[in-house]
Structure formats: C-alpha cells, structure tokens
Amino acid sequence: MSTEVTNAIAAQAAVVEIKKRKNTEKIDVTFIERSQQDWVIRGTCPIDMEGHPWAEKFEVVIDPKGKVKSVDFALL
C-alpha cells in the first residue's frame, strides 16, 4: 500500500491550511508542482485591509507525507 501524496491531496491540505490561517472560504489554487520530494501549491485568497478588499498570494509547501512544511503570503 502506497502512502504517497498525490497532487489533489497536497492541494487539499494547502486549502485546509489557508482556510485555518485566513478564515476564508474563497481560495483559488492556481499552480501545483512537485519540487524534489515536496509539493508546492500556489494561489490567491481575499483579505480585508481596513475595510478594503485585497488579494493575497500564497505558497504552501507540503511534504511527501502530506504535512505542511511552510506557508508564505504576499500582497498582490
């Protein structure tokens, strides 16, 4: 039985992590790639900056077991 994480599982783990950190349901995954052994998931999510809607991009790195290794955010 293989315990290898697929791109769909990695993307779902990233979405769950972003939902927890940003308290939002609207998350757009735009890029999924395998880098070495890890998965890198990139996308955008909305944020509220002092009453103004804004977009923030994210990058989540998921290890081969499906655990989040790192999360980075940046304003667009």
Domain boundaries, the chain: 7-75
The first and second tokens of residue 64, run together, are 């081969």
Pick the CATH number of 7-75 from 3.10.450.390, 3.40.50.300, 3.20.10.10, 3.90.25.10: 3.10.450.390
CA dihedral 58, 19, 28, 7 (to 10 degrees): 80
Give pLDDT, residue 74: 95
Average pLDDT over residues 33-61: 93
For the cut 90, the answer to whether the pLDDT of residue 62 exceeds it is yes
Q: What percent of the chain has pLDDT over 70?
A: 96
**How confident is the model at residue 1, as a pLDDT?**
42
| Residue position matching structure tokens 């995954």 | 29
pLDDT at 76 over 90: no
For a pLDDT cut of 90, what percent of the chain falls above it?
Answer: 76
Paired residues of 2 in beta bridges: none
